[in-house]
């Protein structure tokens, strides 16, 4: 029988919510290479980019064909109108269509109990979609550290580990990594203020900022504020996160 008819070899298909970027005079729907490679190499799944075409198509048309969804990081900020605040006066980029697609996808995923993994902005999307709020500039909140990267540094410095996160004992992240403390990278200006409904805090930084969450009513719903995808092949602890996500997609 031709390989094309033998569905025993099919790997899980994982949707990756895209970002909208203007390149020249045109609109593009984009996903970062490092996320797609981490899903392919560490989670051992087939990533497929979900375009921000929610005005043309029902996200359920995607959800019914997928085995999981991944929410990437992004330089854009979640629009604070989604948690009842005005934009602060910062030179931030926003991506309304990413906001909308993320929120619609998260709600559908919870309904379908499809495995979900989020990174950085992906964690923020989940928190806001479930009624939580964000600090728009974590570094300006008294008592919080500066969680931003220095964009003038080489990428290996920007994505290098810089602080510890304290993992909630016996939580999902603890069960996956086997660790109660993990050193992680940090590349974000926004961060969780009010935790959304039905979310469990899975890790906090030393300044008490929430660094990982899980979705209570999902079989596998996890998001981390750091970037485990960065050189994941060289980082066995971060690799366990992608392996666990891939296993959850395979177990569907
Ligand atoms: N813009 C948000 C989220 C930060 C984030 O996801 N940064 C990564 C961008 C580049 C990449 O995809 O690695 C914030 O600043 O809080």
ipTM of the complex, rounded to two decimals: 0.98
- Residue 215: phi and psi, rounded to 5, are -95, 115
Would the pLDDT of 116 be above 70? yes
188 is catalytic: no
pLDDT level of residue 9 (50, 70, 90 thresholds): confident
Instruction: Name the residue with the closest Cα to ligand 1, atom 6.
Output: 73
- Nearest-atom number in ligand 1 for the CA of 32 is 12
249 is catalytic: no
**Closest residue by Cα to residue 182 from 152, 159, 162, 158:** 162
Q: Residue 116 maps to which CATH number?
A: 3.40.50.880
In this structure, are residues 229 and 33 in contact, taking their beta carbons and an 8 Å threshold?
A: no
Measured in Å, residue 38 CA sits from the centre of ligand 1 at 17
State the pTM of this model: 0.97
User: Which three-class secondary structure state does DSSP give residue 33?
Assistant: helix
Question: And the tokens for 205?
Answer: 């930084």
Instruction: Kindly report which listed range (56-60, 67-71, 86-90, 159-163) carries the lowest average pLDDT score.
Output: 56-60
Measured in Å, residue 158 CA sits from the centre of ligand 1 at 11
Q: In the 3-class helix/strand/coil scheme, how is 122-182 assigned residue by residue? A: HHHHHHHHCCCCEECCHHHCCCCCCCCCCCCCCHHHHCCCCEEEEECCCCHHHHHHCCCEE
User: Domain count of the chain?
Assistant: 1
251 CB contacts (<8 Å, ≥6 apart)? Answer: none
Output the CA–CA distances (angstroms, integers) from residue 192 to 48, 123, 189, 206, 224, in the order listed: 28, 9, 10, 14, 11
Measured in Å, residue 172 CA sits from the centre of ligand 1 at 23
Average pLDDT, rounded, for the chain: 96
Determine the structural domain holding residue 134 and report its residue range.
2-251
CA distance 163 to 197: 27
- Among 87, 91, 136, 187, the mutation site with the greatest number of ligand 1 atoms within 8 A of its Cβ is 187
**Closest residue by Cα to residue 76 from 125, 130, 27, 117:** 125
Q: Which residue has the tokens 């919870």?
A: 110
């Amino acid at each position: 029988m031709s390989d094309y008819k033998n569905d025993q070899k099919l790997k899980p298909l994982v949707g990756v919510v895209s970002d909208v970027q203007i390149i020249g005079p045109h609109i593009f729907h984009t996903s970062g290479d490092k996320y797609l490679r981490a899903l392919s190499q560490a989670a051992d799944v087939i990533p497929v980019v979900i375009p921000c075409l929610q005005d043309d198509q029902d996200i359920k048309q995607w959800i019914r064909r997928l085995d999981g969804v991944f929410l990437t990081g992004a330089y854009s900020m979640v629009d604070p109108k989604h948690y009842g605040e005005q934009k602060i006066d910062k030179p931030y980029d926003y991506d309304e269509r990413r906001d909308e697609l993320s929120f619609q996808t998260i709600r559908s995923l919870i309904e379908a109990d499809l495995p979900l993994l989020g990174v950085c902005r992906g964690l923020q999307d989940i928190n806001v979609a479930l009624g939580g709020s964000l600090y728009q500039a974590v570094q300006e909140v008294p008592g919080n550290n500066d969680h931003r990267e220095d964009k003038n540094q080489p990428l290996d410095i920007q994505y290098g580990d810089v602080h510890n996160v304290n993992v909630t004992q016996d939580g999902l992240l603890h069960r996956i990594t086997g660790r109660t403390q993990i050193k992680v990278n940090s590349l974000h200006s926004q961060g969780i203020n009010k935790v959304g409904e039905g979310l469990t805090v899975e890790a906090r930084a030393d300044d008490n900022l929430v660094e990982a969450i899980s979705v209570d009513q999902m079989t596998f719903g996890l998001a981390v504020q750091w970037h485990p995808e960065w050189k994941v092949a060289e980082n066995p602890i971060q690799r366990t996160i992608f392996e666990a996500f891939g296993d959850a997609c395979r177990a569907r």
